[in-house]
Amino acid sequence: MNTDHFRFPCFLGRRVHLGVTGSIAAYKSLELLRLLVDAHIDVGVTVTASGQRFVGAASFQALGAGVVHTSMFPDERRGLGEDPFAHLTPGRSADAFVIAPATANIIAKIAGGIADDMLSTQALAFRGPLIVAPAMNPNMWSAPATQSNWRTLLDRGVIAAGPDNGSVACGDTGQGRLCRLEHIFAQVLRALSPKDLAGKNVLITLGPTREPWDAVRYLSNPSSGLMGATLAMAAWMRGADVHVVAGPTDFDFPPSVHVVRVTTALEMLAAASDLFPAADIACCTAAVADFRPVPPTGGVAHKLKKRDIDPLALSIALTPNPDILRTLGAAKRKGQILIGFAAETDGVLAQAKMKLAEKRLDLIVANRIGVPGSGFAASTNVVAVLDRTGRVEQWPELPKTEVAWRIWDLLQHL
Ligand code: CTP
């Protein structure tokens, strides 16, 4: 699964505290630490005594943790830090606290306000966003005591990351697996983000469409869908309820992002038209195939055999596809915001201006395709943004994640 759309550069210097408890999944917390450090986040770590049976403090230090707490009292710390108020450090300085993996024991302790070791004490003294990623045997997870403790945490505003369904270390199957690390990471980024899109319903189309000719051949384009995927992630992180209509792509989204997967332009139109009436903001980034092939005799469900065609007389007829953005523009009601993209090889601004007016858009993001660092399948983009009031901004080459972030910033001033 692709997670390039999780790489946002705007969390430099933010501080996160990572708590690790005694689950077999504890080794995965090292990878979570790497994801956080790669996002330029300062990470402090506390590993409980049972957590240290699975992973040692030195591993976290080697992977870039700023400080690693292993016990409550200085005489037991053996030089790993002598601050007598370390139990208050995350509460004073961390922007978010994540416990991954979280055992039934730590969940029970936090629910009951028990503070009998460093991690539970730090969690009790922390007032910011707390993300908890449970990992345990399915019978322990479904136990009435754990479920009641978990509900207590959720009622208090703790942010849940998982647990997932699947097989666990002991061979049992059920709910209790540590959820995907990228989903925990995404919840941390979300906790660090402003919530200026809270309450907004956002619809995004992304990726290419694939137009079948026969059972094995199709017409498409090289769109990676990354621009739309980053817009969806940024909107979700900023509090929106996000609906994605995705052409053939392999982006992994957090479970609370609603994803409808489609193949053809006609399917994308149907899904987007269904979702549009409820949307406050719709953003069409999809590189929709403007034409679809007319299938050979025999229809799209059959493979055309080479022996059945005359290669000298072979041709493919095309028929136009509907313009999804234009269709949404025509149906737009007062107060809805519609954002389009323009992929151009020449006359970028003039073409974009024309599309803004013709498709009844509020904002258009124009990029030149066929130049390095911009357009299809690149991780960066060079765009100009035009809005309905006539404002034009030209942005330098930026990661697509940053372009997405800036587009949502811009919307606040529309
Ligand atoms: N779009 C769409 N449905 C289509 C074609 C385009 O929703 N059938 C949307 C794209 O998602 C994008 C915008 O329209 O937001 C502009 O797409 P673009 O390919 O730049 O231009 P077209 O309108 O298709 O016009 P042309 O190909 O002539 O430049």
What is the SS3 string spanning 64-130? CCCCEECCCCHHHHCCCCCCCCHHHHHHHHCCEEEEEEECHHHHHHHHHCCCCCHHHHHHHCCCCCE
Distance CA(330)–CA(309), nearest Å, equals 43
Distance CA(192)–CA(280), nearest Å, equals 24
Ligand 1 center from residue 413 Cα (angstroms) = 25
Ligand 1 center from residue 97 Cα (angstroms) = 43
By alpha-carbon position, which residue is closest to atom 13 of ligand 1? 341
Which atom of ligand 1 is nearest the CA belonging to 328? 7
Which atom of ligand 1 is nearest the CA belonging to 289? 8
What are the 10-residue block averages of pLDDT along the chain, 414 residues in total? 86 96 97 96 97 96 94 65 82 96 98 97 98 97 98 98 91 94 97 97 98 96 95 98 98 96 98 98 97 89 86 90 98 97 92 96 92 78 94 94 96 82
Residues with C-beta less than 6 Å from any ligand 1 atom: 265, 284-286, 288, 290, 321, 323-325, 340-343, 355
Give the SS3 label for residue 390.
Answer: coil
Contacts of 394 (CB under 8 A, 6+ apart): 383, 384
Contact status, residue 228 vs residue 202, Cβ threshold 8 Å: no
pLDDT of residue 84: 82
Ligand 1 center from residue 323 Cα (angstroms) = 7
Residues pairing with 243 in the sheet: 203, 258
Pocket test for ligand 1, best of 341, 356, 385 (most atoms within 8 A of CB): 341
Token reading at 267: 């399917």
Ligand 1 center from residue 286 Cα (angstroms) = 8
Nearest to 341 by CA among 195, 196, 202, 223: 223
Ligand 1 center from residue 380 Cα (angstroms) = 20
Token reading at 103: 């055992």
Same fold, 4-192 and 201-413: yes
By alpha-carbon position, which residue is closest to atom 22 of ligand 1? 342
Which atom of ligand 1 is nearest the CA belonging to 351? 29
By alpha-carbon position, which residue is closest to atom 24 of ligand 1? 290
By alpha-carbon position, which residue is closest to atom 19 of ligand 1? 343
Ligand 1 center from residue 145 Cα (angstroms) = 54
In the CATH scheme, what is the homologous superfamily, with its name and number, of domain 201-413? CoaB-like (3.40.50.10300)
pLDDT of residue 79: 52
Distance CA(216)–CA(211), nearest Å, equals 11
* Radius of gyration for the chain, computed over Cα atoms and rounded to the nearest angstrom: 25
pLDDT of residue 73: 81
pLDDT of residue 256: 96
By alpha-carbon position, which residue is closest to atom 27 of ligand 1? 290
Distance CA(278)–CA(280), nearest Å, equals 7
- Domain definitions of the chain by residue range: 4-192, 201-413
Which atom of ligand 1 is nearest the CA belonging to 341? 15
CB environment 19-58: b (16+ within 10 A), e (fewer): bbbbbbbbebbbebbebbbebebbbbbbbbebbeebbebe
Distance CA(15)–CA(271), nearest Å, equals 40
pLDDT of residue 74: 64
Supply the residues annotated as catalytic. 170
Token reading at 247: 């052409």
Domain 4-192 = CATH 3.90.980.10:
no
By alpha-carbon position, which residue is closest to atom 8 of ligand 1? 323
